[in-house]
Homo-oligomer: A and B are copies of this chain.
């Protein structure tokens, strides 16, 4: 295998055979293909794409580059996970994982940290004092097998090739390639050992994919490749043109989730999306059930307290003291400059303000401020009166909060009331 020959084939729009993909990527693992050949190949992929067959072959090499989990099936016979491409205020994992586990399915959930302008499940969990997100793979496996759910962070043992490729893509401007994103997401999820996968592919101003068509391509890719790898799979395209839910921020999002788990119905969009994702997970496990029945079971789990009970068990197992959750002491409202209707929220810009407040990180060294966050009183389509609060900034230092008020104001467009298109949270389901 001459690496340059394979790079040239892809560069010229050719399709590589499974054996060629394997030779190139296992050659990379063995040091026979260099980083500079890999980055040239990845750039060629950016322009020429990868077919479904090529992406599947790549995904398999990535997923098999490290350990792969296989669960004992005495207590739970179906293991199912959800992956979200991320967006402002996206906190559904913390609700749907306990729901699904409480209904008798294993949920092995490996989550990420805050990335760019979006938060990360891991940072949210770590705002719960004592919560350990770094279980060993053995601890993780045992907890999923025995309790039904564990929530941990990425580990170097699963899909190490993905980690290496991602680091290379990050510094060579080859991140934004749908087949490479597909392979990266799936390699980790496939190594996790779940039987079913639900993808929440977000699009809009607060998502990584701004365009609906791009997100749809990614969703189709994820579904196609996961099926090719023998999994049950479904993808939801969901609208991220405004933050999800009422709160964004680490401990504030935990608070919102706990209230939903305790039966609150006030956070309508978070509750709805969590329930729908959970119901799709159930339907993957029980294809004979209709969707409405799956949804009813999930709602029941919220109402009868089983989901909350499961969440408490997970916290207890992982050392988290939910009762000690810190909440912010200072607040500053953003008031409507004039009466009108909220017509748009620049959700990415809001996310970057959040990063500055300490919700996320600009560099790996930055420390998270767990109580910093936003409370959204109004969402797109809502009417406001002049002087009414639209958003409240929360944190520990009111002087600091004031610094961001002006920037925040510019992210929210209040215009004369008109007919804003109704916001549809779940845009499409792909399976």
Q: Interface on A for B, CB 8 Å cutoff?
A: 3-5, 7-8, 11, 34-40, 42-44, 46-47, 168, 170-174
Contacts and interface: CB of A to CB of B under 8 A. Distances in A.
Contacts of A4: 170-173
Given A3-B171, A5-B173, 12 more contacts: A4-B171, A7-B172, A7-B173, A34-B171, A35-B35, A36-B38, A37-B172, A39-B40, A39-B43, A43-B44, A43-B47, A47-B47
A205 to B, nearest CB: 20
Nearest to A171: B4
Contacts of A174: 40
Contacts of A37: 39, 171-172
B36 A173 contact: no
14 contacts: A3-B171, A4-B170, A5-B173, A7-B172, A11-B46, A11-B173, A34-B171, A35-B36, A36-B36, A39-B43, A40-B42, A40-B43, A43-B47, A47-B47
Number of copies: 2
Contacts of A170: 4
A3 to B, nearest CB: 7
Contacts of A38: 36
B47 A172 contact: no
A36 B3 contact: no
Contacts of A34: 35-36, 171
Contacts of A5: 173
Contacts of A44: 43, 173
A7 B40 CA distance: 12
Nearest to A3: B171
Nearest to A7: B173
A165 to B, nearest CB: 11
A427 B354 CA distance: 64
**Which 5 A-B pairs rank lowest in CB-CB distance, beginning with the nearest?**
A43-B43, A40-B172, A8-B173, A7-B173, A35-B36
A44 to B, nearest CB: 6
Contacts of A46: 11
Nearest to A46: B11
A397 B36 CA distance: 44
Contacts of A11: 43, 46, 173
A39 B42 CA distance: 10
Contact of A36 (B8, B47, B168): B168
A170 to B, nearest CB: 7
A374 to B, nearest CB: 29
A336 B124 CA distance: 83
Contacts of A42: 40
A4 B11 CA distance: 20
Contacts of A3: 171
A172 B38 CA distance: 8
Contacts of A36: 34-36, 38-39, 168, 171-172
A38 to B, nearest CB: 7
Contacts of A43: 11, 39-40, 43-44, 47
Nearest to A11: B173
A170 B44 CA distance: 15
A103 B206 CA distance: 72
